Amino acid sequence: MTRDNPEITRTWDTFHRLVNLTSPELRDWLLTTPDGGDAYAPEPGIDIHELGERVLRLLEKRRVDLTDDDVATMRLVTELIVGRLANVPADEAANEPWRDTLLTLGHDPLRADSPRGMDAEALLEAAV
């Protein structure tokens, strides 16, 4: 896979726009949270904590070092984050499973740079 591929560049940029935690912040979060299934919003067939660890490894990579699996992970994480941001619960600050899932994926929805609704969906569309 060519790393100067415009599609990969868009995926990389969108991923890094949505993952708004630094690698030390994400590492700290992953180390201090339980990795049990009850801790996060349900995702059939997806181990959210393991996916968070893959995000952490991606944050430590350069774009030229990406594998096909890395690009697929970035796309999945982007879709999961956008799906949650497009469907914000009414009590978002108090909805711990919603926020915890996003934090585990590397996104803090309470930060000012967190897109919502149509803004989040537009990011995903730009990446495709």
- Give residue limits of the domains in the chain: 6-127
pLDDT tens digit string along 5-64? 888 999 999 999 999 999 999 999 999 876 555 555 556 667 888 999 999 999 999 999
Q: What is the DSSP letter of 37?
A: G
Kindly report the average pLDDT of the chain as a whole number: 84
Question: How many residues make up the chain in this entry?
Answer: 128
**What span, in angstroms and rounded, lies between the C-alpha atoms of 40 and 119?**
24
pLDDT tens digit string along 87-123? 888 876 677 888 899 999 999 998 988 887 677 777 6
Is residue 88 within 8 A of residue 115, CB to CB? The reply is: no
Task: Tell me the whole-structure pTM to 2 decimals.
Answer: 0.83
